[in-house]
Amino acid sequence: MDAGGYRTRYLHAGDDSLPPLLLLHGIGGHCEAYARNLDRHGAYFDTWAIDLIGHGRSAKPDHPYEISHYVDHVLRIMDARGWNRIHISGESLGGWVASRLAADHPDRVDRVVLNTAGGSQADPVVMDRIRSLSMRAAENPEWDFIKARVEWLMADAKDATEDIVACRQSIYSQTGFAEAMKNAMVLQDMEVRKRNLMLAEDYGRIEAPTLVLWTSHDPTADVSEGRRISSMIPGSVFEVMQGCGHWPQWEDVDTFNRIHINFLRGLPLDAPLSAP
């Protein structure tokens, strides 16, 4: 789609008679992060997984990407689709963007899911690891380098399946992709990251019902960080998925779909998924 001048790639399930749901991937990611969830969510929501600017096969304007740029992209998508309000769910970077959108534009958001979300802290060890793995894969998109980057996301390396590695290798092999990755990695620079962080007062301004979803084996931060984020968001729900790393929506599809869909529908998280 053309989102206010940005060529934006998406995967879509459902139809426009259903409530709109936007799914946001993490840093260096792409909309296939939700490939295993789209069909189920499309039964309940007008579901869109998108490639953020600088990522996947969407537009890659040549400038460093800070959180305000991603939020602007989301607002352009909403305007292009004619959505006044949406449900929004983001993983890692996507959760950072979703939290900033919810804090700064409460009138545009119905419900929010922060899935192993970034943006609450600046851990130099994690930041260096993300940058080194991502830049190596983008500058030299050989199978083993791409696979190592994908394996980092998973609690169990077997979940770095050949299909998702091949998909990412194709994306990372695009002409000019390494430069776009460099622009995305600016958030791993301490000074830039600190001026983009979500502070307690920012989380405190989130009015929408919010689920903070964490995992037992997240490589970016332990469960206590997810619990801390939740404590700063008024009325938020906190849930931990066991046996997962940074991509619970991929690693444990059935559990994620149940928790995620039930929350977005305002139902108990442990309820069996009922018909739409």
pLDDT tens-digit readout, 46-94: 999 999 999 999 999 999 999 999 999 999 999 999 999 999 999 999 9
Answer whether residue 33 is part of any domain: yes
pLDDT digits (tens, 9 = 90+) for 122-133: 999 999 999 999
**Nearest CA among 81, 124, 78 for reference residue 101:** 78
Answer whether residue 151 is part of any domain: no
**Structural domain for 49, as ranges:** 2-119+196-264
Strand order in the sheet with 86-91: 10-13, 46-50, 20-24, 86-91, 109-115, 210-215, 237-241
The pLDDT of residue 222: 96
- What whole-number percentage of the chain has pLDDT above 90? 99
Task: pLDDT band for 3, please (50, 70, 90 cuts).
Answer: very high
pTM assigned to the model: 0.98
Answer whether residue 39 is part of any domain: yes
Answer whether residue 135 is part of any domain: no
CA atoms of 88 and 21, how far apart (whole Å): 6
Task: pLDDT band for 275, please (50, 70, 90 cuts).
Answer: confident
pLDDT digits (tens, 9 = 90+) for 137-183: 999 999 999 999 999 999 999 999 999 999 999 999 999 999 999 99
Tally of domains in the chain: 1
The pLDDT of residue 234: 97
pLDDT digits (tens, 9 = 90+) for 215-251: 999 999 999 999 999 999 999 999 999 999 999 999 9
| Whether the Cβ atoms of residue 232 and residue 201 lie closer than 8 Å to each other | no
CA atoms of 167 and 149, how far apart (whole Å): 13
Exposed / middle / buried, residue 205 (Cβ in 10 Å: 0-12, 13-18, 19+): middle
Answer whether residue 183 is part of any domain: no
**What number of residues does the chain have?**
276
CATH number at residue 8: 3.40.50.1820
Whether the CA torsion 122, 128, 129, 132 is positive or negative: it is: positive
- Enter the tokens of residue 134: 């991502």
Q: What is the 3-state secondary structure (H, E, C) of the chain?
A: CEECCEECCEEEECCCCCCEEEEECCCCCCHHHHCCCHHHHCCCCEEEEECCCCCCCCCCCCCCCCHHHHHHHHHHHHHHHCCCCEEEEEECHHHHHHHHHHHHCHHHEEEEEEECCCCCCCCHHHHHHHHHHHHHHHHCCCHHHHHHHHHCCCCCHHHCCHHHHHHHHHHHCCCCHHHHHHHHHHHHCHHHHHHHCCCHHHHHCCCCCEEEEEECCCCCCCHHHHHHHHHHCCCCEEEEECCCCCCHHHHCHHHHHHHHHHHHCCCCCCCCCCCC
Answer whether residue 157 is part of any domain: no
Q: Compute the mean pLDDT over every residue in the chain, rounded to the nearest whole number.
A: 98
Q: Which residues of 21-47 are buried (b: 16+ CB within 10 A; e: fewer)?
A: bbbbbbbbbbbbbbbbbbebbbebbbb
Decide if pLDDT at 276 tops 90: no
Decide if pLDDT at 274 tops 90: no
Radius of gyration of the chain (CA): 17
Give the pairing of strands 237-241 and 210-215.
parallel
Distance of CA 210 to the CA centre of its chain: 15
- Enter the tokens of residue 154: 């998973």
- Enter the tokens of residue 83: 């959505």
Answer whether residue 190 is part of any domain: no
CA atoms within 13 A on the CB side of 87: 25
Answer whether residue 229 is part of any domain: yes
